[in-house]
C-alpha cells in the first residue's frame, strides 16, 4: 500500500542556469558607437521561466488518503472507476482481482486533473502499482501510467519509459494552464506519477551535515536552442539518492528522462591531529 505520509525532507533544491544575458538599454549612459545595431531582447525561455520564487517555501507532492480527500474528489474517483478498470485491464494489471487501495497525488501545477496512485500489495515480490489521471476541465479522458505488475515493470522502468513520457505530455496538453508552469513543480509531479515520493527542501535549509547538502542541487539549464533540461535531485529516494534528468523541447514537450544514482560524496570530518611530543633540550655541562 502506498505510504500516506511524506518522506523526510532531505532533498536539497537550488536554481542554476548556465548563462544570463545583459542587454544594453536606452537608460545606459554609454552611447552606442556609429552604425551600431542594438541587440534585440532575448525572448523568455520555453517551456519554463527562470524563476526561483516557488522554491522559497519548499515543494513536495502531497499524498492524501481517501479520508483526507474532499468529498468531491472521492465522487470523481468513484465515477471514473469503471474507466480506470477498463484501461488497467488493457495493461493486464488485474484490477478486478485482489484488494486495491489508492491515494491522491496533489500536484499544484495541475489543478485541472485529479491524480491517483493505485496499489495492490500481496506480500514481498507480488506488488502492483499504477497511476491514474482524471481530467476535470472536459479535456481528454482517463489515462493510466503502469508502474509495476506483480513487482515487475511492464516495459522498461516506469520513470524512464516512452509510455510514461507520452502519457505525461498528453496530460500537460489537456491541462491548459492559465500561467507559466514551474519547472520544479512539473518535475516533482512527473516523478510522483512514475511511482516516486519526491520531496524538495528550500535553498538554505540546514538539513545537511555541517551546513553542506546531502545531495546534488536541483537545477534548470537553458540550452542555446531554447530547449531546457531539468535536474531534480531526490535525496529521499531509497536505497540511494537519485537524480532525475528531464529534457524538454523548446515547445515544452518532454523528450527523454534519465534516473541515476546521485554520486555526491558525503563530507567526512578531518580527524584532529595528535599533539606533538617535544623532548626537552639537554643542558650543557657546567651550566653553560
Say if 282 falls within a structural domain.
no
pTM of the full structure: 0.74
Say if 142 falls within a structural domain.
yes
Grid cell of 241 as nine digits: 539518492
**Among candidate residues 218, 212, 216, the one with its CA nearest the CA of residue 230:** 218
Cβ-Cβ contacts under 8 Å for 63 (sequence gap 6 or more) = 2, 3, 4, 5, 6, 103, 104, 105, 106, 117, 197
Q: What is the pLDDT of residue 82?
A: 95
Q: What is the pLDDT of residue 18?
A: 39
Say if 87 falls within a structural domain.
yes
Domain with 175, as residue range(s), is 53-265
Say if 47 falls within a structural domain.
no
Chain Cα centroid distance, residue 148: 20
**Among candidate residues 94, 84, 81, the one with its CA nearest the CA of residue 127:** 94
Bin 17: left if φ > 0, else alpha if -120 < ψ < 50, else beta: beta
Helix then strand then coil, in percent of the chain rounded to 5, is 20, 25, 55
Q: What is the pLDDT of residue 206?
A: 44
Say if 43 falls within a structural domain.
no
Question: 180 near 48, Cβ under 8 Å?
Answer: yes
- Divide the 288 residues of the chain into consecutive groups of 10 and give the mean pLDDT of each group: 40 38 45 65 66 59 95 97 93 87 94 96 86 92 92 83 96 87 90 88 50 66 90 79 91 94 63 57 54
Say if 27 falls within a structural domain.
no
User: How many folded domains does the chain comprise?
Assistant: 1
Say if 84 falls within a structural domain.
yes
Say if 41 falls within a structural domain.
no
Amino acid at each position: 500500500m502506498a505510504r500516506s505520509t511524506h518522506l523526510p525532507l532531505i532533498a536539497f533544491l537550488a536554481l542554476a542556469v548556465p548563462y544570463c544575458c545583459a542587454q544594453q538599454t536606452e537608460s545606459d549612459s554609454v552611447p552606442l558607437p556609429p552604425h551600431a545595431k542594438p541587440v534585440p531582447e532575448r525572448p523568455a525561455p520555453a517551456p519554463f521561466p527562470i524563476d526561483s520564487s516557488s522554491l522559497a517555501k519548499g515543494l513536495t507532492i502531497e499524498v492524501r488518503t481517501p479520508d483526507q480527500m474532499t468529498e468531491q474528489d472521492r465522487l470523481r474517483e468513484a465515477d471514473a472507476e469503471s474507466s480506470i478498470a477498463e484501461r488497467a485491464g488493457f495493461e493486464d494489471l488485474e484490477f478486478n482481482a485482489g484488494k486495491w487501495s489508492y491515494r491522491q497525488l496533489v500536484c499544484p501545477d495541475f489543478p485541472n486533473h485529479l491524480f491517483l496512485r493505485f496499489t495492490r500489495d500481496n506480500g514481498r515480490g507480488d506488488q502492483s502499482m499504477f497511476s491514474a489521471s482524471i481530467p476535470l476541465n472536459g479535456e481528454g479522458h482517463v489515462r493510466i501510467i503502469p508502474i509495476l505488475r506483480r513487482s515487475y515493470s511492464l516495459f522498461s522502468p516506469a520513470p524512464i519509459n516512452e509510455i510514461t513520457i507520452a502519457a505525461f505530455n498528453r496530460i500537460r496538453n489537456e491541462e491548459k494552464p492559465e500561467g507559466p508552469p514551474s519547472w520544479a513543480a512539473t518535475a516533482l509531479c512527473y516523478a510522483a506519477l512514475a511511482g516516486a515520493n519526491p520531496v524538495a527542501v528550500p535553498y538554505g535549509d540546514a538539513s545537511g551535515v555541517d551546513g553542506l547538502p546531502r545531495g546534488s542541487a536541483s537545477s534548470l539549464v537553458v540550452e542555446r536552442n531554447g530547449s531546457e533540461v531539468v535536474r531534480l535531485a531526490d535525496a529521499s529516494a531509497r536505497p540511494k539518492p537519485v537524480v532525475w534528468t528531464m529534457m524538454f523541447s523548446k515547445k515544452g514537450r518532454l523528450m527523454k528522462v534519465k534516473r541515476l544514482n546521485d554520486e555526491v560524496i558525503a563530507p567526512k570530518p578531518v580527524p584532529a591531529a595528535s599533539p606533538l611530543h617535544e623532548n626537552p633540550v639537554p643542558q650543557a655541562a657546567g651550566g653553560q
